[in-house]
Amino acid sequence: MFRNSYDSDNTTFSPQGKLHQVEYALEAVKQGSAAIGLRSKTHARSTGELATYQKKLIRIDDHVGVAIAGLTSDARVLSNSMRQQAMSEKMLYGRPIPVARIVQGISDKAQMNTQQYGRRPYGVGFLVIGQDETGPHLFEFSPAGTAFEYYAHSIGARSQSAKTYLEKNFESFENGR
């Protein structure tokens, strides 16, 4: 990344069509220690083992949890918002919130911060795992406001080696442990 005149304003595109502030926020995620997640037909698991003293896993509800990589304060605010939304939906409808919807909730929230003057993007990425009526799920949430579903994924520092291993072996996770 080069420092240039397009990177201090969240609401200014660069001539290459990039939002530099969002790119830098993604860097903050890459600087956090690694978090890995994977799922089979029946289970979803995540872990953050290289961060010895930093709590990486946050329980959102009985059926949803997140592994964080990046700014822990931003992680706290977003996970609190997820907890409130999960609790509200459980009370209102008597059923646990579908995982895709709670992820969509924070994605919309994070995207707003990339399109308003004076606000900065969240500096944390999540691997959201959960189980609902449609089975186990693994999502990656990023400060850009995107959320994609994966069979296996990893984020954070030195996550590439994990990604390479997962790419080779994820098909065996489907039915096994």
Partner 1 sequence: MNHHPAAWGRPLPASASFDMYNPQFSAPKAAPAHQMPVAHTQQPLVTGTSVLGIKFDGGVMLAADNLASYGSLARFKDIERLHPLGPHTVIAAAGDMSDFQWLKKELNAILREEQALSLTDSHPSLSPSNIYDFLANLFYARRSKMNPVWNAVLVGGWDRVKAETFLGYVDLLGTTYSAPTLATGFGAHIAQPLLREAFEAKAGTDGKGPLMTQQEATAVLDDCMKVLFYRDARSMNKYQIATVTKDGVVISDSKSSETQWGFAEDLRGYGAQTQ
Q: Which residues bind partner 1 (CB under 8 A)?
A: 77, 80-81, 84-85, 88, 91-95, 98, 100-101, 104-106, 108-109, 112, 116, 132-134
Residue 30 or 83 with smaller CB distance to partner 1: 83
From residue 100, how far is each of 7, 43, 141, 159 by CA, in Å? 32, 16, 11, 24
Q: In whole angstroms, give the CA distance from residue 112 to residue 126.
A: 17
Least distance CB 83 / partner 1 (angstroms): 9
Helix (H) or strand (E) holding 31: helix 20-31
Residue 51 or 135 with smaller CB distance to partner 1: 135
Least distance CB 49 / partner 1 (angstroms): 30
End-to-end CA distance of the chain: 40
Least distance CB 145 / partner 1 (angstroms): 11
Phi, psi of 48 (to 5 degrees): -145, 80
Q: In whole angstroms, give the CA distance from residue 73 to residue 2.
A: 27
Least distance CB 110 / partner 1 (angstroms): 9
Structure tokens at 3: 């420092």
Residue 2 or 93 with smaller CB distance to partner 1: 93
Residue 15 or 94 with smaller CB distance to partner 1: 94
